[in-house]
Structure formats: structure tokens, C-alpha cells
Amino acid sequence: MATDLVKAAKERGIKYFLISYVDLFGTLRAKLAPASAIGDMAKEGAGFAGFASWLDMTPADPDVLAIPDPDSLIQLPWKKEVGWLAADPYMNGKLVDQAPRVILKKMREKAAKAGYALKTGVECEYFLVSPDGSAISDPSDIQAKPCYDQSALMRRYDVISEICDSMLELGWRPYQNDHEDANGQFEMNWLYDDALVTADRMAFFKYMVKAIAEKHGLRATFMPKPFANLTGSGCHVHVSLWKDGRNIFEDGNDGLGLSRTAYNFIGVTYAGNNRTHMIRIPGSGRFELRLADGAANPYLLPAALLAAGLEGIAKGVDPGKPLDIDMYAEGHKAPADTKKLPLNLLDALRLTENSELLRRELGGEFIDSYVKLKNREWDDYSRQLTPWERANSLDC
């Protein structure tokens, strides 16, 4: 492994390596190592103080050693002397169980024992905003329905094309770029792949978009809803399950093109090609989960999907017939037993904490740590005094 990275540095002219891991909150953490040290880093790992990022650790804990995965190497297209590496954190010689990439790898291993491989594709929406984040970057982007607006798209051609050229160079096979539903919002699509490969690429994509936008004097944000009056940014996930090189979600005899295994994996309400539902079937052999947003953790998202889906297959869960109604206008027509999503982070955390499935599949240590840190985030949020509260409660 060490020889591979040393060789890659010499052959590709890489002078520095970013050795990175994603913490529980989805933040990319890194150290910059000179190529002359990458042999040692590949063997021993780069040292981090775990408590200094969003991992459930204290200053009393020993160093986290992030050992890079050589297969994840990405040479920065806009700064070719730097190579990026996804790393797996270790502590005391053991993998850190709460690390998101480690959790996804363990779920992949569980799936592989049953002969399954999850493949995913993501649609990462983002806004291009002013450097201070107070407004969208294009003052002329004012249409009431700006989605697919050609002029607004082409006014950001320099940024969009550089990002797309970078993906082409990296071999990601991007196939379309568009202006999304909100003013100042964009989306770029590339080909699906193994869930871990896609997760690594999603982590890097968010960094790449921000770096290239900054290079052009702009700021990119994947914040779910940076502007109250505009559509938020989603991160739709296209999901398929493979076995022996074959997509086992595909069934040409089914009206929507899905197999019984696919329906078991879905396990909940769904619709055909209907964007008002959490799960839609845009074509045969896959489904689209529309729930996630731009802040989704690149590794925890597919890990949780795989955990829930494999449980559905194991139990033969039947989601029933598609619910082809406009859920925005006709949600009241849904069956009475249709489960609803939690309305806020606190309720979601309570469900996560009490989920036997997630504890069993993703690990109790991870669930406890994630819930603990996210509850702190909720408490911090709850301490803020909002303009609405002042406007409506000051004269009580």
C-alpha cells in the first residue's frame, strides 16, 4: 500500500497529499502531508485529536490515526500537485466504530456476505452565493420559475464547466448540469457506482465545488435551505442492488420495472414517476430516495439505506401498491396507517436513539455518539432568540 502511493506521487507529480476523514456531522477533516512522508503515513496514519472534530471523544483519548485508502486517491484537477485521500480512522490499533466511512464499509461487508452490492448515484444541489453568503451570486437570476433557465446557467458557465471538466478528467462520467428550481441553485449529475465509491466522490465533490467557486470569487453552499423564500437543496439518491454482476432490482415483467426484492427493500410507501413522494420510481431497476438534503453525511446516508433495505428483504416487507397521488395537494388521501416523518431534529433523534434496527446494524456506540452530539446541536439551536419570537412575544 505504501509503495503504491509513493509510486503514484512520482508518476503523477504529486507533491502533497490531503489525508481526510469525514466526521459525524459530515465535515471533511484533513492533514496535508508532503509526498516524501506518504510512505510512513500510509503505514502508520496521520495523527488527529479526535475531540477537536465532531467525534465523540475527549482530550483524554489517544490520537486518532487516519490511514489513507490508496484506492480513493483523487488528484485535484485544479491543483494537480495535490492528491486527496479518503482515510479510515484508527485508535489504539482498532478502527473507530463511530467513524462514518467505517460504518458504511461494515454495512457493505454485511451485504456482501449475502452476495449483495449496493450501487448509488447522488444529485447534489447547491447554491452559488456572494462571498459573505447573504445573497445569490447572480443579481440577474430573478425568474419566478428559474429551473433550467438557460441564460442563468450560462452566466455561470465558467464555474459550472470547470467543475464538469474536472469530473470528466477524473473519470466520473458526468452527463448533465442544470440550473435548479431556486434562483442561484445548480445541480450536476455523474454516473452511479458502488456505494463507497459514490460516497467518497460525494465528499470530494462538495469540497471541489466550494474550492472552484472560491477560485472564481464566489461561494458555494450545500446548506439545505440558505434562503427562506427559495427552494432548498436536496441530495436525491438513486439506489439499486446487485448480485453476481446483475441488477436484482430490475424486472421487465413489472409495470414499474422493479423486482419483488426491490419492493421488499423499499418497504414503505412509494409512487411511480411522481416527485411529490419520498420514494419515486423514475425508471426500471432503481428507485430514487428524495428525502436527503445537501447536509447529508456522504457515508451515513447509504449506510442507513442499506441497513433498512436489507431488513426489508430479510423480512419480506411488502410496501403494497404505488400511491400515485399528489402528496402536496392530496396527502390527506393517503391510507390512515401511513407513517409520517418526524417534523424536527429532536423527534428524529429520539427515533434514532430507540431504533433497534439502527443499533443492531450500524452499532450502538455510533448511535449513542451521534445522538449525544446532535442533541448538543439541538440544545445550541434552541438557545437562539429568533426575530419571530421577538416580533410575536415581546409584548406578551
Domain identity same for 82 and 113: no
First-residue to last-residue Cα distance in the chain? 67
Domain identity same for 257 and 192: yes
Domain boundary among 322, 341, 360: 341
- How far apart are alpha carbons 200 and 74 in whole angstroms? 10
Domain boundary among 55, 72, 98: 98
- How far apart are alpha carbons 280 and 288 in whole angstroms? 5
Mean pLDDT of 311-340: 92
User: Based on the structure, what is the number of domains in the chain?
Assistant: 3
Domain identity same for 162 and 247: yes
396 found inside a domain = yes
- How far apart are alpha carbons 195 and 238 in whole angstroms? 10
Domain identity same for 185 and 93: no
66 found inside a domain = yes
104 found inside a domain = no
The CATH number for 94's domain is 3.10.20.70
- How far apart are alpha carbons 325 and 328 in whole angstroms? 9
Q: Tell me: the pLDDT tens digits for 226-245?
A: 999 999 999 999 999 999 99
Domain identity same for 60 and 132: no
Domain identity same for 21 and 121: no
Dihedral of alpha carbons 215, 77, 73, 164, sign:
positive
Per-residue DSSP letter, 358: H
Flag whether pLDDT at 2 surpasses 50: no
Q: Is 203 exposed, middle or buried (0-12, 13-18, 19+ CB in 10 A)?
A: buried
Flag whether pLDDT at 331 surpasses 50: yes
Neighbours of 199 (CB within 10 A): 27
Task: List beta partners, residue 74.
Answer: 84
208 found inside a domain = yes
Domain identity same for 51 and 126: no
| Residue 174 DSSP SS3 | strand
Map grid coordinates 416523518 to a residue.
341
- How far apart are alpha carbons 330 and 337 in whole angstroms? 16
Q: Could you please report the per-residue DSSP string of 282-349?
A: EETTEEEE---BTT--TTHHHHHHHHHHHHHHHHT----S---S-HHHHGGGS-TT-----SSHHHHH
Map grid coordinates 450536476 to a residue.
188
Which cell numbers in the block locate residue 53?
472534530
Q: Tell me: the pLDDT tens digits for 14-71?
A: 999 999 999 999 999 999 999 999 999 999 999 999 999 999 999 999 999 999 999 9
Mean pLDDT of 332-353: 93
Mean pLDDT of 263-273: 95
Flag whether pLDDT at 3 surpasses 80: no
Identify whether the C-beta of residue 258 lies closer than 8 Å to the C-beta of residue 288: no
Domain identity same for 138 and 215: yes
Domain identity same for 322 and 348: no
Domain boundary among 79, 98, 117: 98
Identify whether the C-beta of residue 120 lies closer than 8 Å to the C-beta of residue 237: yes
Domain identity same for 39 and 92: yes
- How far apart are alpha carbons 346 and 218 in whole angstroms? 34
Task: Give φ, ψ of 175 to 5 degrees.
Answer: -135, -10
* 223-227 long-range contacts, CB within 8 A, separation 24+: 223/127, 223/294, 223/295, 224/293, 224/294, 224/295, 225/293, 226/127, 226/129, 226/133, 227/127, 227/136, 227/182
The CATH number for 211's domain is 3.30.590.10
Query: Can you give the pLDDT at residue 102?
Result: 98
Alpha carbon of 315 to those of 52, 106, 128, 263, 319: distances in Å? 41, 21, 44, 12, 12
Structure confidence at residue 185 as a pLDDT band (50, 70, 90): very high
Identify which of 240, 256, 236, 239 has the alpha carbon closest to the alpha carbon of residue 248. 240
Query: Can you give the pLDDT at residue 386?
Result: 93
Domain ranges, residue 370: 344-396
255 found inside a domain = yes
Q: Tell me: the pLDDT tens digits for 186-197?
A: 999 999 999 999
Domain identity same for 64 and 176: no
278 found inside a domain = yes
Domain identity same for 12 and 64: yes
